[in-house]
Structure 1
Amino acid sequence: MTIHLSPASQVIAGVVLLSVVTIEVGGWFLTKIARGAVPMTRFQKDFARAGHAHAGVLVTLGLICLVLADATALDGFAGYVARAGVPLAAILMSAGFFASSAGRGEVTRPNKLFAVVWLGALALAAGVVTLGIGLLTA
């Protein structure tokens, strides 16, 4: 069985795969945090782990969604949402965790940039619901 990606999925997959390098850098940074080389509050450590984990899991899911979206032959706006929703969520949710916990000193609560996490959650929901409906109706 040969899998052929649509041009849109091929571009998104290429960008997503290149983004894995940034996730690797984040993992390296987490090892510095774990060794105590980067001073952070418990809250900041937890949010750094959450941001890193969301990036890794959602990038993997995003690649799977590209293949599934091409299997449904979704096109137009629905096709765009089905293909880009999960990768966009990977960016937004991880960025939201990192940005909302940034700062020096005793940072113990997220700042207003935590709203970016919720935007990512909306992108994730839109992507998987659109793709799920597309798969069920294909």
Structure 2
Amino acid sequence: MTIQPQSLITIGVLLLALVTVESGGLFLKKVAQGDVPTNDLQKSFFRAGHAHAAVLIVLSVAILSVIDNAGLTGFWEFVARDGVPIAAILMPAGFFLSVIGRDPQRPNRFVALLWAGVVSLTAGLLVAGVGLLSAGIAAL
């Protein structure tokens, strides 16, 4: 199994991005200790943003490790290769940015980033899944 250079580069960037998720963990520790004033909405959105960032980055690495074997090209290759990594940026950004400010009572307009990430995640998973299934079946 050969991994294409663009996949290797993206995996490298994603692994380095996990360092930012790690620093986000330090921020969450400060929130939990009460060192950063937050309300319940902010606490829950910050936790969700942090968790989604980590899980989606790891999922992206897993998909990129095998997607080159799916034989996808053009638009479908882009969606399969980049859908989940894009979601790994958009969804956490939506969680964090939608509750910035002092004592927000509901998410602001940045919550749209969360929903854009949901679309990107769903498309990426569907296209990668179907592409890999098709490649596996064809290889039987």
TM-score by length of 2: 0.92
Equivalent residue for 1:137, pick from 134, 137, 140:
134
Name the CA distance, whole Å, in 1 between partners of 2:75 and 2:6: 12
Write out per-residue CA displacement over residues 16-53 of structure 1, whole angstroms, 9 at most, x where no aligned residue: 11101110110000000011000000100000000000
**CA displacement at 1:77 relative to structure 2:** 1.8
Name the CA distance, whole Å, in 2 between partners of 1:5 and 1:122: 26
Map 1:1-138 onto structure 2 (within 5 A): 3-104=1-102, 106-138=103-135
Write out per-residue CA displacement over residues 37-83 of structure 1, whole angstroms, 9 at most, x where no aligned residue: 00000100000000000001100100011022112132322112111
RMSD between superposed Cα atoms in Å: 1.0
4+ residue stretches of structure 1 with deviation over 3 A?
A: none
Name the CA distance, whole Å, in 1 between partners of 2:74 and 2:67: 12
Name the CA distance, whole Å, in 2 between partners of 1:32 and 1:75: 45
Name the CA distance, whole Å, in 2 between partners of 1:122 and 1:4: 29
Name the CA distance, whole Å, in 1 between partners of 2:118 and 2:54: 15
| Secondary structure of residue in 1 paired with 2:36 | coil
Write out per-residue CA displacement over residues 55-112 of structure 1, whole angstroms, 9 at most, x where no aligned residue: 01100100011022112132322112111110110100000000001001x2121001
Q: Which runs of 5+ in 2 are unaligned?
A: 136-140
| Secondary structure of residue in 2 paired with 1:108 | coil
TM-score by length of 1: 0.94
Matched to 1:80, the amino acid is F
How many residues are paired up?
Answer: 135
